[in-house]
């Protein structure tokens, strides 16, 4: 066996042959990736990792990955006991994280999302680490501090407010959240009242928000919110003009004291009377494609009136709000398409005599997280039952489409070939890169068959997925950690193991995806232990009640989809 070499800086360099093989394997991976040995020292990196880290392979190989890269959010060295990645590495199981920090070669911090999975080259064990730049952390929603009226803001204060508006609104893809942040930006900083009227996709106007600043609290006047009359084409009244995207305008109670020219004018008069607003400024909320609504700022307690000098600032804020809302609407529309497609693609469970089988699927409430989680069960030609659960990397329409491709290919291979699960998944892995849009995925594929003595035997292989959980009717629960191999899509072509176990009578077998157990501020081990404890306590429940109560108790954080497949053997 080749011996490790010593580098000039004292770090240990991996044997050249092993490093060369790993470097070649990592070169096929599209994401940034590096491999570490059983001690945590870097064996090889790919070019994507070098580019993101701002470090060459020569600077990385042989170094302890934790000591060199892992940092706190403030840039300080991260204690090993506080490092989620390090803990998962020592546990020897796959893990993911949505927020960590790596130290780049120039001394700056890189916020990353990461995935690790054990690997083996020959007889040597190690871990594969994949990472990419993390999404921006959501901005704080503290109420804005009051400042001088908009007309008296300095140029620097205006620029700071616009920069904050851009940052806060662009860091969410949820319409309601964007409106809440917009409200907190302008009230009480610029006005006592804010009114937001939005045009729906059916060209109807809805008064979405009427909010009043009372000290540090923001009070919603729901009695003034709701549907509005249609936008008149010829009206010259301020709100009507804004909703047609014509211009921004100053307004006051006297503006709407004249005979109303439309239903919108009647509603505006009611607004001014109910709120006591004595001065208002109204601006259209536009995107690059359409008029989305109107933004109104009103002053009741503040004595100073708005002036024409305030219009440019409000127009800039409304323009940024329009872009943010348009992006959020487009993303939510895409998410709805993905969720609908995914729900239609997820299969109905087969009827297997003697077995109970139940599934659950929860789409993440976050508009940015839907797509790749799935389950499947179907009967094979020899009478055995095939079971699968998986997660395609990504959270968008492409991930949902990739999930469908992967599931259909797995069905075809499993139906046409009577090979062990490991061989089926190996062939599936070989086909992913050339003929699908899937980049990477995790998967458990299993066959369930009856034995001569009336029991049920499970044969499975695990491609980088979290282990199934087996719970006996007496409440003993443990994870099935055997049969574990590398995830799909790496191009590594490593051997995949099979595992077999006999399911006890009356036992419950649970397959799940990582959205059930992973949460910010909680390690994967903590999430898995929480799942095991609650599942054991619920072993006596009916299978449907077991899943529903398990979801209620575990409380998935909602950052990812959750797919569950549970089955129970007869007593």
pLDDT tens digits for 31-52? 788 988 888 899 989 988 999 9
pLDDT of 81 higher than 60: yes
Q: Model's pTM, two decimal places?
A: 0.50
Mean pLDDT of all residues in 454-479: 95
Contact yes or no for 378/389 (Cβ under 8 A)? no
Show the tokens assigned to 437: 């849009």
Domains and CATH numbers, the chain: 5-133 (3.30.450.20), 150-333 (3.30.450.40), 346-568 (3.60.40.10)
pLDDT tens digits for 383-441? 999 999 999 876 555 666 777 788 889 999 999 988 999 999 999 999 888 888 788 89
Residue for token pair 């008029």: 291
User: Distance between CA 272 and CA 488 in Å, rounded?
Assistant: 61
User: Distance between CA 544 and CA 541 in Å, rounded?
Assistant: 8
Torsions phi, psi of 468, nearest 5? -65, 155
User: Distance between CA 287 and CA 475 in Å, rounded?
Assistant: 57
Mean pLDDT over the full length of the chain: 84
Residue for token pair 């009916």: 542
User: Distance between CA 233 and CA 203 in Å, rounded?
Assistant: 13
The DSSP bridge partners found for residue 375 are 389
Q: What is the pLDDT of residue 70?
A: 92
Calculate the CA dihedral of residues 459, 463, 464, 465 and round it to 10 degrees.
-50
Report residue 139's pLDDT band, with 50, 70 and 90 as the boundaries: very low
Mean pLDDT of all residues in 537-545: 94
Task: Count Cα atoms within 13 angstroms, Cβ side, for 184.
Answer: 18
pLDDT of 136 higher than 80: no
The DSSP bridge partners found for residue 280 are 251, 298
pLDDT tens digits for 318-332? 999 999 999 888 877
User: Distance between CA 400 and CA 543 in Å, rounded?
Assistant: 27
Contact yes or no for 311/270 (Cβ under 8 A)? no
User: Distance between CA 297 and CA 283 in Å, rounded?
Assistant: 9
pLDDT tens digits for 268-278? 999 999 999 99
Residue for token pair 């490093």: 19
Report residue 141's pLDDT band, with 50, 70 and 90 as the boundaries: very low
Quote the longest CA-to-CA distance of the chain.
95
DSSP state at residue 194: E
Which residues contact residue 217 at a Cβ distance below 8 angstroms, ignoring those fewer than 6 apart? none
The DSSP bridge partners found for residue 197 are 207, 294
User: Distance between CA 551 and CA 85 in Å, rounded?
Assistant: 26
Q: What is the pLDDT of residue 394?
A: 66
């Amino acid at each position: 066996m080749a011996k490790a070499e010593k580098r000039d800086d004292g770090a240990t360099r991996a044997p050249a042959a092993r490093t060369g093989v790993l470097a070649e394997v990592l070169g096929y991976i599209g994401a940034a990736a590096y491999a570490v040995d059983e001690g945590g020292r870097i064996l090889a990196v790919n070019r994507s990792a070098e580019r993101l880290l701002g470090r060459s392979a020569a600077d990385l190989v042989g170094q302890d990955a934790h000591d060199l890269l892992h940092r706190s959010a403030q840039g300080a060295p991260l204690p090993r006991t506080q490092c989620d990645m390090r803990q998962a590495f020592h546990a020897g199981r796959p893990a993911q994280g949505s927020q960590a920090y790596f130290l780049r070669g120039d001394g700056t911090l890189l916020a990353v999302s990461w995935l690790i999975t054990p690997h083996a080259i020959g007889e040597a064990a190690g871990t594969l680490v994949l990472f990419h730049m993390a999404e921006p952390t959501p901005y704080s929603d503290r109420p804005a501090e009051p400042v001088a009226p908009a007309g008296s803001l300095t140029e620097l204060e205006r620029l700071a407010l616009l920069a904050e508006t851009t940052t806060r609104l662009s860091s969410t893809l949820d319409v309601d959240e964007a409106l809440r942040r917009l409200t907190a930006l302008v009230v009480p900083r610029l006005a006592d009242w804010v009114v937001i009227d939005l045009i729906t996709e059916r060209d109807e106007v809805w008064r979405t928000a009427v909010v009043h600043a009372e000290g540090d609290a923001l009070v919603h006047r729901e009695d003034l919110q709701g549907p509005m009359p249609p936008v008149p084409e010829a009206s010259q009244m301020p709100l009507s003009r804004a909703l047609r995207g014509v211009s921004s305008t100053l307004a006051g109670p006297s503006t709407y004291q004249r005979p109303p020219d439309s239903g919108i004018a009647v509603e505006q008069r009611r607004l001014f009377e109910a709120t006591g607003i004595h001065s208002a400024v109204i601006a259209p909320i536009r995107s690059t494609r359409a008029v989305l609504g109107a933004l109104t700022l009103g002053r009741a307690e503040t004595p100073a009136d708005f002036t024409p000098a305030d219009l440019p600032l409000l127009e800039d804020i409304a323009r940024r709000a329009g872009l943010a809302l348009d992006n959020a609407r487009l993303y939510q529309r895409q998410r709805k398409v993905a969720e609908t497609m995914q729900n239609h693609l997820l299969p109905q469970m087969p009827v297997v005599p003697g077995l109970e089988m139940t599934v659950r699927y929860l789409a993440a409430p976050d508009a940015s997280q839907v797509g790749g989680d799935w389950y499947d069960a179907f009967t094979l030609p020899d009478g055995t039952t095939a079971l699968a659960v998986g997660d395609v990397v990504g959270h968008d329409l492409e991930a949902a489409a990739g999930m469908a491709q992967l599931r259909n290919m797995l069905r075809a291979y499993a139906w046409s070939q009577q090979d062990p699960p490991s061989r089926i998944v190996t062939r599936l892995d070989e086909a992913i890169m050339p003929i699908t849009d899937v980049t990477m995925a995790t998967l458990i594929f299993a066959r369930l068959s009856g034995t001569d003595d009336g029991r049920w035997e499970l044969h499975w292989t695990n491609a980088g997925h979290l282990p199934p959980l087996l719970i006996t009717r007496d409440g003993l629960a443990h994870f099935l950690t055997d049969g574990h191999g590398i995830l799909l899509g790496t191009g590594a072509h490593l051997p995949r193991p099979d595992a077999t176990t006999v399911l006890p009578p009356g036992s419950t077998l649970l397959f799940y995806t990582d959205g059930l157990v992973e949460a910010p501020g909680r390690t994967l081990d903590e999430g898995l232990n929480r799942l095991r404890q609650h599942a054991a306590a619920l072993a006596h429940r009916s299978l449907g009640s077991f899943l529903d109560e398990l979801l209620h108790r575990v409380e998935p954080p909602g950052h990812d989809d959750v797919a569950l497949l549970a089955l129970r053997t007869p007593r």
